[in-house]
Amino acid sequence: MKFLLYTTGDNTQPSAPPTPQMIEEVGKFTEETRRAGILLATGGLAPTTTRVRNAGGKLTVTDGPFTETKELTGGFALVEVKTREEAIEWAKRFRKIVGDGDSLVQEVFE
């Protein structure tokens, strides 16, 4: 089973920039998932987003938000694991390292 694990930015609560220690720990963790044979792809996510919306056939493109989110750090990982619980366990381990905030775990269908 494949799962997409990703962090969501809470726009009202900008986090502090990651400390060098946290960056190192996240690096170690990423290596651990790679060596566990579960990591298919991973990357960081920039704080800003562009939204493309179709509402009744009318397409709108919205940039942003830009305020207060600059210091948010996010990322995603595509993992291949045996059960949803296993994906959740990896997400918990990641969350313990990066601290407050949300990670979402979503199954990827073939």
Partner 1 sequence: MTGTDTHGAIDAVWRIEAPRLIAGLTRIVRDVGLAEDLAQDALVAALEQWPESGVPDNPGAWLMATAKHRAIDRLRRNERLERKQEELGREIAAQQERAMADLNIPSADDVDDDLLRLIFVSCHPVLAPEARVALTLRLLASLTTEEIARAFLVPVSTIAQRIVRAKRTLTEARVPFEVPSGEDLDARLASVLQVIYLVFNEGYAATAGDDLMRAGLCEDALRLGRILAGLAPNEPEVHGLVALMEIQASRSRARVGPSGEIVLLLDQDRGRWDPLLIHRGLAAL
Considering only 80, 95, 97, 101, the residue that binds partner 1 (CB under 8 A) is: 80
Span near partner 1 by CB under 8 A; candidates 11-19, 46-54, 63-71, 84-92: 84-92
Considering only 13, 17, 23, 34, the residue that binds partner 1 (CB under 8 A) is: 34
Non-local CB neighbours of 64 within 8 Å, separated by 6+ positions: 48, 49
Instruction: Work out whether 107 is an interface residue with partner 1 (CB under 8 A).
Output: no
Non-local CB neighbours of 62 within 8 Å, separated by 6+ positions: 50, 51, 53
By residue count, the chain amounts to 110
The two tokens of residue 53 are: 């919306």
Considering only 26, 45, 78, 105, the residue that binds partner 1 (CB under 8 A) is: 78
Least spacing, CB of residue 85 vs partner 1, in Å: 4
Phi, psi of 47 (to 5 degrees): -70, -25
